Amino acid sequence: MKILVTGGLGFIGSHTVVALLEKGYDVCIIDNLSNSSIDVLEGIAKITQKIPQFFNFDLRNQEKVEAFFKEHHDLAGVIHFAASKAVGESVENPLLYYENNNNALVYMLKNISQLNQKNFIFSSSCTVYGEADTLPITEGAAIKKAESPYGNTKQIGEDIIRDTCNAVSDLKAISLRYFNPIGAHSSTEIGELPIGTPQNLVPYITQTAIGQRDELSIFGDDYPTEDGTCIRDYIHVVDLAEAHVVALERLLQSEKKASYEVFNLGTGKGSSVKEVVSAFEKVSGQELNHTIAPRRPGDVVAAYADTEKAQDVLGWQTKLTLEDALESAWKWQLKLKEADA
Ligand code: UFG
């Protein structure tokens, strides 16, 4: 069975491609390399001994999308990762985000009607919940007004898919709302490759520990949490990748009753920024230079997943810990340094 993975050379995409290949699926990837590297293909091949088909084009090109689907009507499913994901950049360049994240999604869904099997999985985010009223966050929690154009593209994306499922009777789709994906594959062949200065906590930590950054700024220690720093649900990217295979199989086996479903993907455990720093110091044996800085605009105080629906309905739960994820992220950073030397 052949599965299309858009953005398959990106951070979560590449780990999902590995999980699919290891399960015996054929994979083809569309990626425009805007935030990824062609070397990732080699990493995937080293881990799996398989080379997925690769197509380098931009999904904003409607003609190319149409031509691709015309040639590949035998696809059994589509996992759509390709999107822009930097919150700050989305504030500066909102149209890039609406075009890249929403126009491309529309072109994908328009053309999915050409497929014999219309199974679609969408990368969504816990950002759709904003500052949730109650914790842990269930899938039924209110969708708050988005804090950024990026967040809005995820909300709109979910709406586009829901509406399309209502209109196209044989389209089945699942949106997966990720909490905070971190870590790397245990082989250290693939991992996160942030371009420029990392905006996310864990790559900033590992780059600081390796000496690429002077110190980590902890954004605010006066939040109403036990140690004053924000709380997030950090999920190992390998667990997250596995969840995509499980969700795909749910669609393929047509077990699901509704044509559109959403699931939270998290560990269910919240960790503060200070806890992440301590856990990193423990697993890496490195003391991390850090300082307390002002709050970062747009940050919510706390977000962690209610994992019951994913457990009950998908039969999926995380297996790896925060420490496992931080250790793998550190090993990946060491490998990148070695490759650079
Ligand atoms: N943090 C720091 N210092 C840093 C980087 C982050 O203290 O240098 C803190 C943040 O303030 C936050 C926590 O670490 O409290 C996690 O921050 P990340 O940037 O790693 O992740 P976010 O929780 O901000 O990201 C999540 C989702 C994104 C989504 C975003 C929207 O993973 O997909 O929420 O706010 F875009």
How far apart CA 72 and CA 76 sit, in angstroms, is 10
At residue 257 the predicted structure's pLDDT band, cuts being 50, 70 and 90, is low
Mean pLDDT for 219-246 is: 98
Mean pLDDT for 198-216 is: 97
Could you give the residue ranges of the DSSP H alpha helices within 141-266? Answer: 149-167, 201-209, 237-252
Best residue for ligand 1 mutational test, from 299, 300, 326 (most atoms within 8 Å of Cβ): 299
Measure Cα distances from 17 to 94, 109, 241 in Å.
Answer: 29, 21, 8
How far apart CA 313 and CA 139 sit, in angstroms, is 13
What is the pairing mode between strands 234-236 and 290-293? Answer: unpaired
Token look-up 């804090």 returns 147
Burial of 317: CB neighbours in 10 Å, binned 0-12, 13-18, 19+: middle
Tally of residues, the chain: 341
**Ligand 1 centroid, distance to 200 Cα (angstroms):** 5
Token look-up 């929403």 returns 102
Measure Cα distances from 184 to 14, 94, 133, 276 in Å.
Answer: 10, 30, 32, 16
At 283 the pLDDT is 98
Q: Specify whether domain 2-182+235-266 bears CATH 3.40.109.10.
A: no
Mean pLDDT for 280-288 is: 97
Atom of ligand 1 nearest to the CA of 202: 20
- What residue ranges line ligand 1, CB within 6 angstroms? 87, 125, 127, 147, 150-151, 180, 199-201, 204, 216-219, 230, 232, 273, 296, 298-299
Backbone angles phi, psi at 6, to 5 degrees: -85, 145
At 340 the pLDDT is 84
**Ligand 1 centroid, distance to 219 Cα (angstroms):** 9
How far apart CA 18 and CA 151 sit, in angstroms, is 27
Mean pLDDT for 47-63 is: 98
Residue-wise pLDDT tens digits, 146-195: 989 999 999 999 999 999 999 988 899 999 999 999 999 999 999 999 98
At 81 the pLDDT is 98
Amino acid present at 83: A
Amino acid present at 253: Q
The H-or-E segment that residue 334 falls in is: helix 322-340
**Ligand 1 centroid, distance to 257 Cα (angstroms):** 35
Whether the ω angle into residue 136 lies within 30 degrees of 0, i.e. cis, is: yes
Statement: residue 309 has pLDDT above 70: yes
**Ligand 1 centroid, distance to 270 Cα (angstroms):** 13
HSE on the CB side for 75, CA within 13 Å?
27
Q: Whose CA is nearest to atom 16 of ligand 1?
A: 201
Give percent above pLDDT 70 in the chain.
Answer: 99
Name the E strands within the chain.
2-6, 26-30, 53-55, 77-80, 118-125, 171-178, 180-182, 216-219, 231-232, 234-236, 260-265, 271-272, 290-293
How far apart CA 227 and CA 6 sit, in angstroms, is 40
Domain ranges of the chain: 2-182+235-266
Task: Tell me the three state secondary structure of residue 70.
Answer: helix
Please say whether the beta carbons of 32 and 55 come within 8 A.
no
Which active-site residues does the annotation give?
150
At 254 the pLDDT is 76
Atom of ligand 1 nearest to the CA of 229: 15
**Ligand 1 centroid, distance to 157 Cα (angstroms):** 21
Q: Using the 8-state DSSP alphabet, how is residue 145 labeled? A: P
Structure tokens at 111: 């053309």
Q: Whose CA is nearest to atom 24 of ligand 1?
A: 299
Query: Is pTM, for the whole model, over 0.95?
Result: yes
Give percent above pLDDT 90 in the chain.
Answer: 92
Statement: residue 258 has pLDDT above 70: no
